[in-house]
Amino acid sequence: MKNFILNFVLLFAFSLSVFGQQDSVDADVPSGDPIFAGAIELEEQKVVFDSLVAAQMAEDEENEAEEDSAFFENWDNSKLNPYGLKVTEVTDSFVVDCSNFCPPTQNVVTSEFGPRWARLHCGIDLRVKVGDSIRAAFDGKVRIKRVGSRRKGYGYFVLLRHPNGLETLYAHLSKILVEAEQEVKAGEVIALGGNTGRSTGPHLHFETRYQGIPINPRNIIDFNEFAVYDDNYLVTIKGSFKEWTDYVNSPAKYYKVRKGDCLSKIAKRHRTTVKRICRLNRITTKTVLRPGRRLRVR
Ligand SMILES: [Zn+2]
């Protein structure tokens, strides 16, 4: 906007000087002279042309501001998914520019995106050693830096937002080398690999998200070549969020309690956790389980 005002002032000063000159010409040349008429026409064209440039510049700056506001929509330093959208509500058929991709690490995949232990594993796990460089996948800005629990959840993690529309998450880190609000370039080392949070060995848990909802990184990245399949990735509700939709819509599963059962035994048998069973059934670990009771296990 500053630039626009400056340009406008310059343009105004320029117009004054042009018309000032004409005044002095006017004194010598009689009106109706063809040379003079031509000169006026030229100056008028010049002023019109400059106005067009100024208008275009104003429009460009407005567009930039609009892009900026889209980038900062739902900008929150604490919420993993600040969008709060259902999968059916995200923008369909959105083209993501992946041309500046850089692999966060170049190691083997040890666990895939998909249902795991009655939850959805929302990312891909890559083997790393503690202290390995973890790099930003695209240009972007740090939305969340969290020095979390050493035992629970993601542990130490970073979430970046990218101008291409994606967000990427890097978890179980041993050290974070960036701050919230910091701008980063694709390939920049943002953290060191580790084993913090719910993790049974050093690995990088890597997620790609669009408007808060995880997409299987394998849809975008070839983990054999450590490159993107295409410079443009098309986000579609049907294609990009299929696993997510299947998981969300998967039917509930029940189990009839037998004599001698306890919550931990039931949880183990159904590859879930005691905490989750308690939450699903609104019970506590102290609730007495009578044989024959139906418990929801997923
Ligand atoms: Zn993981």
Does residue 176 carry a pLDDT above 90?
yes
Tokens, residue 169: 């998450």
Looking at per-residue confidence, does 179 or 46 come out higher?
179
Distance 222 CA to ligand 1 centre (A): 17
What is the rounded CA–CA span in Å between residue 204 and residue 29? 81
194 to 20, 38, 66, 155, 204: CA distances (angstroms): 72, 75, 38, 9, 7
Reading the block at residue 233, the tokens are 């990735």
Task: Say how many Å lie between the CA of residue 86 and the centre of ligand 1.
Answer: 23
Distance from the alpha carbon of residue 205 to the mean position of ligand 1, in angstroms = 4
For 53-104, the pLDDT digits (tens) are 888 888 877 777 776 788 999 999 999 999 999 999 999 999 999 999 999 9
The per-residue pLDDT for range 132-159, each reduced to its tens digit, is 999 999 999 999 999 998 888 999 999 9
Could you tell me which residues come within 8 angstroms of residue 75 by beta carbon, excluding any fewer than 6 positions away?
82, 143, 161
DSSP symbol at 201: S
pTM: 0.71
What is the rounded distance in angstroms from the CA atom of residue 212 to the CA atom of residue 90? 9
Question: 126: which strand partners?
Answer: 109, 204
* Whole-angstrom distance, CA of residue 49 vs CA of residue 54: 9
| Dist CA 288 CA 284 (whole Å) | 9
Which residue is it, tokens 């059916």? 88
**Separation of CA 110 and ligand 1 centre (Å):** 9
Can you tell me the distance from the alpha carbon of 187 to that of 180, in angstroms, rounded to the nearest whole number? Answer: 18
The rounded Å distance from CA 32 to ligand 1 centre is 83
Query: What strands, in cross-sheet order, belong to the sheet with 133-135?
Result: 133-135, 189-192, 175-176
Rounded to the nearest angstrom, the distance between the alpha carbon of 123 and the centre of ligand 1 is 5
Are the C-beta atoms of 123 and 207 separated by less than 8 Å?
Answer: yes
Write down the pLDDT at residue 29: 41
Task: Give the list of residues 6+ apart from residue 30 with CB closer than 8 angstroms, or none.
Answer: none
Over the stretch 13-52, which tens digit does the pLDDT of each residue have? 444 444 444 443 343 444 444 455 555 555 566 666 677 7
Which pLDDT value is given to residue 25? 38
Residue type, 260: G
